Amino acid sequence: MVAENPRLVIFAHPMDIQLNDKEKEIIDKVAQAAQELGLESYLVGGFVRDKILGRRTKDADIVCVGDGIKLAKAVAQKFRPIPEVNYFKNFGTAHIHSSDFDIEFVGARKESYQRHSRKPEVEPGTLEDDQNRRDFTINALAISLNKNDFGKLLDPFNGVQHLEEKIIITPLEPDRTFSDDPLRMMRAIRFATQLNFKIADEVFESVKRNAERIKIISQERITDELNKIILANKPSIGFDLLYKSGLLKIIFPKMVDLAGAEFIEGKGHKDNFYHTLQVLDNISENTDDLWLRWAAILHDIAKPATKKFEEGHGWTFHGHEVVGGRMVPKIFAQLKLPLNEKMKQVKKLVELHLRPISLTKENITDSAIRRLLFDAGEDFEALMMLCEADITSKNKYKVRRYLENFQLVREHCREVEEKDQIRNWQPPIDGTRIMELFNLKPSREVGLLKGALKDAILDGEVANNYDAAYEFLLSKAKEIGVVK
């Protein structure tokens, strides 16, 4: 038999909330522990917001009037096995993380910020103080877990109404909210993107006024919010708001450089900022992979740097894929994104993003296909996905034709791959062996020999075995003068 989901009936309010069994258990244990300690406790923040919206919740946010760490420890004692409690004494916050649930605890507090620092001065406060310091009305909702009014919704700023109206508003005056903690500007845009809500006009005006203050926030925290925007269903909403608020210019100026179209002799080019956003939305329909989404954001990043107007021809962006690829590590470093194989994958996708287009022409040789398969390797599928997302024509006949062309490229690649198995292929003699054979140190010559061998085999000029490869390398080595 399937048990019905437990519900939390909201006290004196025409609404209730669906909980799963685990959430019901957590709430009961928190309520019990708080009562035993004589503390008031409330569900609050993202948990309440998302439950009312019927969204999936990741963790339960609990606020108590008193010592949040003490409450967390008492709650942990009620679980078997007893989960670990992590806490930050300075902030009065604690976190229980177990295999199947997460609970965040915080003691209710009053807060005021120093103008040039992110370090809040925290002092204990009432529930009301705590709701006042929260970023948005929809995040300031609380539900009582106390015996006398269990389930009562405390909504001092009309958060429920704003959830219905799909609007983001700050509880206090927005200039004060954003000046106290400028990260909230990013959060406003992040929630607008994730929830598809509108930021109230006066609130957005305040973001514009306070945009410069984002500079006091660490890059890691900014990038964290940026990544959440990128992972939303329709990330363009967030980038458009970041752009219009002036925040993007500060946090990611290279992307703003893509905006606008220049005209010479009546000829314009497309606005590469909005084109990029369209590509990002397109790819986001097919993948939740953050790095493929980053590849979409960066695929044309070097267009401004390579832009030229050629007389009688029009606008060109020659080499933007190569220059763009080179820009990727620097942008990742600036944004404090990881400089690992994910960065390399994004770089590779940016570098290769025009290659499949060149293979949509007629009479493409197998060797051109082999080269793409070799260069893309295991990122072949991702590359094709990026190319398909890159079709942003408004003409649906053109879109269909381009998609069909890519379908043909895919088929051609599949045939060649079946025959030659290139994607995970390595030449029969590698760089290390080349150095041994010709007594070379790591040098330009080694790269040259390696590249020449790879090309010769992919082009079908040299058989794919050790002896043939050795013979080829020997003659090539003589040609470039590394052996006599």
- Minimum CB separation of residue 78 from ligand ATP in Å reads 23
* Beta bridge partners of residue 199, listed in sequence order: 168
Identify residues 109-148 at the interface with ligand ATP (CB under 6 A).
134-135, 139
Q: Indicate the residue whose CB is closest to ligand ATP.
A: 46
Closest to 346 in 3D by CA, of 383, 389, 387, 388? 383
CB 30 within 8 A of CB 146: no
CB 152 within 8 A of CB 11: yes
Nearer to Mg ion, 46 or 92 (CB): 46
Burial of 216 (0-12, 13-18, 19+ CB in 10 A): middle
How many other β-carbons are positioned within 10 Å of the β-carbon of residue 38? Answer: 7
Return the one option of Mg ion, ligand ATP, none that residue 382 interacts with (CB less than 5 to 8 A, by type): none
Return the one option of ligand ATP, Mg ion, none that residue 139 interacts with (CB less than 5 to 8 A, by type): ligand ATP
* Beta bridge partners of residue 9, listed in sequence order: 16
- Minimum CB separation of residue 187 from ligand ATP in Å reads 6
Considering only the stretches 17-25, 181-189, 242-250, 440-448, report the one whose residues sit in contact with ligand ATP under the rule CB under 6 A: 181-189
* Beta bridge partners of residue 18, listed in sequence order: 7
- Minimum CB separation of residue 134 from ligand ATP in Å reads 4
- Minimum CB separation of residue 184 from ligand ATP in Å reads 5
- Minimum CB separation of residue 37 from ligand ATP in Å reads 22
Considering only the stretches 179-187, 275-283, 321-329, 475-483, report the one whose residues sit in contact with ligand ATP under the rule CB under 6 A: 179-187
Contacts of 363 (CB under 8 A, 6+ apart): none
Tell me 196's DSSP state. Answer: T
Closest to 139 in 3D by CA, of 159, 125, 158, 154? 159
Helices 366-376 & 341-352 angle (0-180, nearest 10) = 150
Identify residues 332-371 at the interface with ligand ATP (CB under 6 A).
none
61: contact with ligand ATP by CB under 6 A:
yes
CB 373 within 8 A of CB 413: yes
51: contact with ligand ATP by CB under 6 A:
no
- Minimum CB separation of residue 61 from Mg ion in Å reads 6
Identify residues 18-47 at the interface with Mg ion (CB under 5 A).
46
193: contact with ligand ATP by CB under 6 A:
no
CB-facing half-sphere around the CA of 317: CA atoms within 13 A: 17
The footprint of Mg ion (CB under 5 A) covers 46
- Positions touching ligand ATP (CB under 6 A) are 45-46, 58, 61, 134-135, 139, 181, 183-184
